[in-house]
Amino acid sequence: MRLKDKVALVTGAGSGIGRAIAIEFANEGAAVLIAELNEEMGAAVADEIGERAAFVHCDTSAEEDVQAAIASAEERFGGLDIVVNNAGVAQKDWDTTIAVNLSGVYYGCKYGAEKLATTGGGSVINLSSILGLVGIGGEDSYVAAKHGVVGLTKNFAIAFGQRGVRVNCINPGWIETPMTDPIMEMEAIAAQMMTQTPMGRMGRPEEIAKAAIFLASDDSSFMTGASLVIDGGWTAR
Ligand SMILES: NC(=O)c1ccc[n+]([C@@H]2O[C@H](COP(=O)([O-])OP(=O)(O)OC[C@H]3O[C@@H](n4cnc5c(N)ncnc54)[C@H](O)[C@@H]3O)[C@@H](O)[C@H]2O)c1
Protein backbone atom coordinates (compact mmCIF):
# COMPACT_ATOMS: atom_id res chain seq x y z
CA MET A 1 0.00 0.00 0.00
CA ARG A 2 1.70 3.13 -1.26
CA LEU A 3 -0.22 5.67 0.84
CA LYS A 4 -0.40 3.79 4.13
CA ASP A 5 -1.13 6.11 7.08
CA LYS A 6 -1.23 9.19 4.83
CA VAL A 7 -4.06 11.73 5.03
CA ALA A 8 -5.36 13.25 1.80
CA LEU A 9 -7.79 16.04 1.04
CA VAL A 10 -9.47 15.82 -2.38
CA THR A 11 -11.65 18.67 -3.60
CA GLY A 12 -14.61 17.91 -5.86
CA ALA A 13 -14.42 14.24 -4.88
CA GLY A 14 -18.17 13.67 -5.18
CA SER A 15 -17.94 12.80 -8.89
CA GLY A 16 -15.75 11.73 -11.79
CA ILE A 17 -11.98 12.03 -11.45
CA GLY A 18 -12.04 13.30 -7.84
CA ARG A 19 -14.24 10.40 -6.75
CA ALA A 20 -11.87 7.90 -8.40
CA ILE A 21 -8.86 9.54 -6.73
CA ALA A 22 -10.54 9.40 -3.31
CA ILE A 23 -11.44 5.71 -3.73
CA GLU A 24 -8.03 4.69 -5.12
CA PHE A 25 -6.20 6.64 -2.39
CA ALA A 26 -8.27 4.83 0.25
CA ASN A 27 -7.43 1.48 -1.42
CA GLU A 28 -3.75 2.44 -1.06
CA GLY A 29 -4.20 2.98 2.69
CA ALA A 30 -4.89 6.72 2.94
CA ALA A 31 -7.55 8.43 5.01
CA VAL A 32 -9.47 10.78 2.71
CA LEU A 33 -11.24 14.04 3.36
CA ILE A 34 -13.78 14.73 0.64
CA ALA A 35 -14.10 18.50 0.21
CA GLU A 36 -17.12 18.95 -2.03
CA LEU A 37 -19.75 21.56 -2.89
CA ASN A 38 -22.50 18.98 -3.52
CA GLU A 39 -23.29 17.58 -0.07
CA GLU A 40 -25.27 14.57 -1.29
CA MET A 41 -22.58 13.37 -3.71
CA GLY A 42 -19.70 14.13 -1.32
CA ALA A 43 -21.34 12.31 1.59
CA ALA A 44 -22.18 9.34 -0.67
CA VAL A 45 -18.51 8.87 -1.64
CA ALA A 46 -17.44 9.17 2.00
CA ASP A 47 -20.02 6.48 2.93
CA GLU A 48 -18.83 4.26 0.09
CA ILE A 49 -15.24 4.40 1.37
CA GLY A 50 -16.20 3.93 5.01
CA GLU A 51 -14.60 5.00 8.27
CA ARG A 52 -11.32 6.12 6.68
CA ALA A 53 -13.18 8.88 4.82
CA ALA A 54 -15.09 11.99 5.84
CA PHE A 55 -17.05 14.64 4.01
CA VAL A 56 -16.54 18.36 4.53
CA HIS A 57 -18.69 20.92 2.75
CA CYS A 58 -16.45 23.21 0.69
CA ASP A 59 -16.95 25.70 -2.11
CA THR A 60 -13.39 25.96 -3.44
CA SER A 61 -14.10 29.39 -4.94
CA ALA A 62 -14.53 30.71 -1.36
CA GLU A 63 -11.13 31.24 0.24
CA GLU A 64 -12.40 30.74 3.80
CA ASP A 65 -14.02 27.40 2.86
CA VAL A 66 -10.73 26.04 1.52
CA GLN A 67 -8.83 27.30 4.56
CA ALA A 68 -11.38 25.66 6.89
CA ALA A 69 -11.39 22.36 4.97
CA ILE A 70 -7.59 22.14 5.17
CA ALA A 71 -7.64 22.97 8.88
CA SER A 72 -10.29 20.29 9.50
CA ALA A 73 -8.00 17.48 8.28
CA GLU A 74 -5.97 17.82 11.47
CA GLU A 75 -9.07 17.49 13.68
CA ARG A 76 -10.53 14.57 11.76
CA PHE A 77 -7.49 12.52 10.90
CA GLY A 78 -4.63 14.05 12.91
CA GLY A 79 -2.67 15.57 10.04
CA LEU A 80 -2.42 16.18 6.32
CA ASP A 81 0.05 14.80 3.73
CA ILE A 82 -1.62 15.21 0.31
CA VAL A 83 -3.83 17.92 -1.18
CA VAL A 84 -5.56 17.30 -4.51
CA ASN A 85 -7.02 20.46 -6.04
CA ASN A 86 -9.43 18.71 -8.39
CA ALA A 87 -12.77 20.59 -8.22
CA GLY A 88 -13.63 22.16 -11.54
CA VAL A 89 -16.45 23.27 -13.80
CA ALA A 90 -16.87 23.43 -17.58
CA GLN A 91 -19.03 25.47 -19.93
CA LYS A 92 -19.83 28.15 -17.33
CA ASP A 93 -19.45 31.94 -17.53
CA TRP A 94 -16.03 33.60 -17.25
CA ASP A 95 -16.27 34.66 -13.59
CA THR A 96 -17.51 31.27 -12.33
CA THR A 97 -14.92 29.33 -14.31
CA ILE A 98 -12.03 31.50 -13.14
CA ALA A 99 -13.33 31.47 -9.54
CA VAL A 100 -13.52 27.66 -9.33
CA ASN A 101 -10.89 26.44 -11.81
CA LEU A 102 -8.18 29.00 -11.05
CA SER A 103 -8.85 30.84 -7.76
CA GLY A 104 -9.98 27.59 -6.12
CA VAL A 105 -6.73 25.89 -7.08
CA TYR A 106 -4.76 28.94 -5.89
CA TYR A 107 -6.41 28.77 -2.43
CA GLY A 108 -5.72 25.04 -2.26
CA CYS A 109 -2.05 25.63 -3.09
CA LYS A 110 -1.70 28.61 -0.77
CA TYR A 111 -3.19 26.99 2.34
CA GLY A 112 -2.39 23.41 1.40
CA ALA A 113 1.33 23.87 0.69
CA GLU A 114 1.80 26.00 3.80
CA LYS A 115 0.05 23.39 5.97
CA LEU A 116 2.14 20.56 4.53
CA ALA A 117 5.36 22.56 4.93
CA THR A 118 4.70 23.14 8.62
CA THR A 119 3.78 19.51 9.32
CA GLY A 120 6.65 17.58 7.75
CA GLY A 121 6.09 18.01 4.02
CA GLY A 122 3.89 16.35 1.44
CA SER A 123 2.45 16.48 -2.05
CA VAL A 124 0.07 18.91 -3.76
CA ILE A 125 -1.57 17.72 -6.98
CA ASN A 126 -3.50 20.12 -9.21
CA LEU A 127 -5.91 19.09 -11.95
CA SER A 128 -5.16 21.07 -15.08
CA SER A 129 -6.06 19.71 -18.54
CA ILE A 130 -4.70 19.26 -22.04
CA LEU A 131 -6.39 22.65 -22.43
CA GLY A 132 -3.80 23.95 -19.96
CA LEU A 133 -1.14 23.25 -22.61
CA VAL A 134 -2.82 24.12 -25.90
CA GLY A 135 -5.77 26.23 -27.02
CA ILE A 136 -8.88 24.96 -28.74
CA GLY A 137 -10.24 28.12 -30.36
CA GLY A 138 -13.07 28.47 -27.84
CA GLU A 139 -13.88 27.86 -24.16
CA ASP A 140 -11.73 30.91 -23.32
CA SER A 141 -12.28 30.88 -19.57
CA TYR A 142 -11.57 27.14 -19.24
CA VAL A 143 -8.40 27.36 -21.36
CA ALA A 144 -7.17 30.45 -19.46
CA ALA A 145 -7.85 28.89 -16.06
CA LYS A 146 -6.19 25.57 -16.94
CA HIS A 147 -3.09 27.35 -18.32
CA GLY A 148 -3.08 29.32 -15.07
CA VAL A 149 -3.06 26.08 -13.07
CA VAL A 150 0.16 25.01 -14.86
CA GLY A 151 1.71 28.37 -13.91
CA LEU A 152 0.59 28.11 -10.29
CA THR A 153 2.01 24.58 -10.13
CA LYS A 154 5.44 25.81 -11.23
CA ASN A 155 5.37 28.83 -8.91
CA PHE A 156 4.40 26.86 -5.80
CA ALA A 157 6.91 24.13 -6.67
CA ILE A 158 9.67 26.75 -6.66
CA ALA A 159 8.44 28.48 -3.50
CA PHE A 160 8.12 25.23 -1.50
CA GLY A 161 10.93 23.17 -3.06
CA GLN A 162 13.14 23.42 -0.01
CA ARG A 163 10.31 23.07 2.51
CA GLY A 164 9.50 19.43 1.72
CA VAL A 165 6.44 20.08 -0.42
CA ARG A 166 6.23 18.86 -4.02
CA VAL A 167 3.65 20.48 -6.31
CA ASN A 168 2.70 18.86 -9.64
CA CYS A 169 -0.23 18.88 -11.98
CA ILE A 170 -2.05 16.32 -14.08
CA ASN A 171 -3.23 17.27 -17.56
CA PRO A 172 -5.92 14.79 -18.56
CA GLY A 173 -7.30 14.42 -22.05
CA TRP A 174 -10.92 13.44 -22.64
CA ILE A 175 -12.09 11.40 -19.66
CA GLU A 176 -15.47 9.73 -19.20
CA THR A 177 -17.13 11.70 -16.40
CA PRO A 178 -20.35 13.66 -15.87
CA MET A 179 -18.39 16.75 -17.03
CA THR A 180 -17.88 15.34 -20.55
CA ASP A 181 -21.26 13.54 -20.82
CA PRO A 182 -23.02 16.52 -22.48
CA ILE A 183 -20.13 17.00 -24.93
CA MET A 184 -20.11 13.34 -25.90
CA GLU A 185 -23.85 13.50 -26.59
CA MET A 186 -23.03 15.80 -29.52
CA GLU A 187 -22.20 13.11 -32.06
CA ALA A 188 -20.08 15.18 -34.47
CA ILE A 189 -17.93 16.60 -31.69
CA ALA A 190 -17.56 13.21 -30.02
CA ALA A 191 -16.47 11.62 -33.31
CA GLN A 192 -13.94 14.42 -33.90
CA MET A 193 -12.49 13.96 -30.40
CA MET A 194 -12.02 10.26 -30.95
CA THR A 195 -10.39 10.82 -34.34
CA GLN A 196 -7.98 13.28 -32.72
CA THR A 197 -7.07 10.85 -29.94
CA PRO A 198 -4.47 8.37 -31.25
CA MET A 199 -5.67 5.67 -28.85
CA GLY A 200 -9.20 6.13 -30.24
CA ARG A 201 -11.03 6.11 -26.93
CA MET A 202 -11.74 8.24 -23.88
CA GLY A 203 -9.83 7.76 -20.67
CA ARG A 204 -11.34 6.39 -17.48
CA PRO A 205 -11.24 8.30 -14.16
CA GLU A 206 -9.24 5.41 -12.63
CA GLU A 207 -6.49 6.00 -15.19
CA ILE A 208 -6.06 9.52 -13.79
CA ALA A 209 -6.29 8.26 -10.21
CA LYS A 210 -3.35 5.88 -10.79
CA ALA A 211 -1.19 8.86 -11.80
CA ALA A 212 -2.36 10.76 -8.73
CA ILE A 213 -1.19 7.85 -6.54
CA PHE A 214 2.22 8.08 -8.21
CA LEU A 215 2.45 11.85 -7.61
CA ALA A 216 1.21 11.49 -4.02
CA SER A 217 3.67 8.73 -3.13
CA ASP A 218 7.44 8.56 -2.70
CA ASP A 219 7.63 6.93 -6.16
CA SER A 220 7.76 10.52 -7.52
CA SER A 221 10.14 11.81 -4.84
CA PHE A 222 12.28 13.96 -7.22
CA MET A 223 9.38 15.35 -9.20
CA THR A 224 8.01 18.85 -8.68
CA GLY A 225 6.65 21.65 -10.87
CA ALA A 226 5.80 19.11 -13.57
CA SER A 227 2.81 18.53 -15.82
CA LEU A 228 1.87 14.89 -16.25
CA VAL A 229 -0.05 14.51 -19.52
CA ILE A 230 -2.48 11.58 -19.67
CA ASP A 231 -4.43 11.96 -22.89
CA GLY A 232 -4.24 8.85 -25.07
CA GLY A 233 -1.84 10.80 -27.30
CA TRP A 234 -4.11 13.80 -28.04
CA THR A 235 -1.31 16.37 -27.59
CA ALA A 236 1.16 14.23 -29.57
CA ARG A 237 -0.38 15.53 -32.81
N1 LIG B 1 -13.39 14.90 -17.66
C2 LIG B 1 -12.45 15.37 -18.45
O3 LIG B 1 -12.38 15.05 -19.66
C4 LIG B 1 -11.39 16.30 -17.91
C5 LIG B 1 -10.29 16.60 -18.72
C6 LIG B 1 -9.30 17.44 -18.27
C7 LIG B 1 -9.40 17.98 -17.00
N8 LIG B 1 -10.47 17.70 -16.21
C9 LIG B 1 -10.51 18.33 -14.89
O10 LIG B 1 -10.60 17.33 -13.90
C11 LIG B 1 -11.30 17.85 -12.76
C12 LIG B 1 -12.46 16.91 -12.42
O13 LIG B 1 -13.35 16.88 -13.53
P14 LIG B 1 -14.45 15.75 -13.72
O15 LIG B 1 -14.48 15.42 -15.15
O16 LIG B 1 -14.28 14.67 -12.72
O17 LIG B 1 -15.77 16.61 -13.42
P18 LIG B 1 -17.12 16.25 -12.65
O19 LIG B 1 -18.08 17.29 -13.08
O20 LIG B 1 -17.47 14.82 -12.80
O21 LIG B 1 -16.72 16.49 -11.12
C22 LIG B 1 -16.41 17.76 -10.63
C23 LIG B 1 -16.72 17.79 -9.15
O24 LIG B 1 -16.36 19.07 -8.63
C25 LIG B 1 -17.40 19.53 -7.79
N26 LIG B 1 -17.38 20.98 -7.73
C27 LIG B 1 -17.74 21.86 -8.70
N28 LIG B 1 -17.58 23.12 -8.26
C29 LIG B 1 -17.09 23.03 -7.00
C30 LIG B 1 -16.71 23.99 -6.03
N31 LIG B 1 -16.82 25.30 -6.26
N32 LIG B 1 -16.24 23.54 -4.83
C33 LIG B 1 -16.12 22.21 -4.58
N34 LIG B 1 -16.48 21.26 -5.45
C35 LIG B 1 -16.96 21.67 -6.66
C36 LIG B 1 -18.68 18.99 -8.42
O37 LIG B 1 -19.76 18.98 -7.50
C38 LIG B 1 -18.22 17.60 -8.85
O39 LIG B 1 -18.37 16.67 -7.81
C40 LIG B 1 -11.74 19.25 -13.15
O41 LIG B 1 -10.83 20.20 -12.65
C42 LIG B 1 -11.71 19.21 -14.67
O43 LIG B 1 -11.56 20.49 -15.24
C44 LIG B 1 -11.47 16.87 -16.63
Q: Residue 213's pLDDT is what?
A: 98
Give the whole-number percent of the chain exceeding pLDDT 70: 100
Measured from the Cα of 202, ligand 1's closest atom is 3
Residue 108 is assigned to a structural domain of this protein: yes
Pairwise CA distance, residues 213 & 90, whole Å: 25
Q: What is the pTM of this model?
A: 0.98
Helices and strands in the chain, H and E counts:
9, 7
Q: What is the count of structural domains for the chain? A: 1
Q: Domain of 106: which CATH number? A: 3.40.50.720
Residue 194 is assigned to a structural domain of this protein: no
Measured from the Cα of 101, ligand 1's closest atom is 41
| CB-based contact 87:12 (threshold 8 Å) | yes
Calculate how far, in angstroms, residue 90's C-alpha sits from the geometric centre of ligand 1.
8
Residue 20 is assigned to a structural domain of this protein: yes
pLDDT band for 186, please (50, 70, 90 cuts).
Answer: confident
Q: Residue 144's pLDDT is what?
A: 98
pLDDT band for 96, please (50, 70, 90 cuts).
Answer: very high
Candidates 162, 174, 156, 160; CA nearest to 85 is: 156
Annotation marks residue 142 as catalytic: yes
Pairwise CA distance, residues 139 & 141, whole Å: 6
Of 30-44, 72-86, 101-115, 190-204, the one with minimum mean pLDDT is 190-204
Residue 29 is assigned to a structural domain of this protein: yes
Is residue 90 predicted with pLDDT exceeding 90? yes
Residue 222 is assigned to a structural domain of this protein: yes
Residue 25 is assigned to a structural domain of this protein: yes
- What confidence tens digit (pLDDT) does each residue in 193-230 have? 889 999 999 999 999 999 999 999 999 999 999 999 99
DSSP output for 140-204: HHHHHHHHHHHHHHHHHHHHHGGGTEEEEEEEE-SB-STTTHHHHTSHHHHHHHHHHSTT-S-B-
Q: Residue 113's pLDDT is what?
A: 98
Q: Residue 9's pLDDT is what?
A: 98
Residue 189 is assigned to a structural domain of this protein: no
> Across-strand partners of 169?
126, 227
> Across-strand partners of 53?
32
Catalytic residue among 106, 107, 111, 142: 142
Range of the domain at 138: 7-176+204-228
- Pocket perturbation via mutation, ligand 1, pick of 9, 15, 208 by most ligand atoms within 8 A of CB: 15
Residue 112 is assigned to a structural domain of this protein: yes
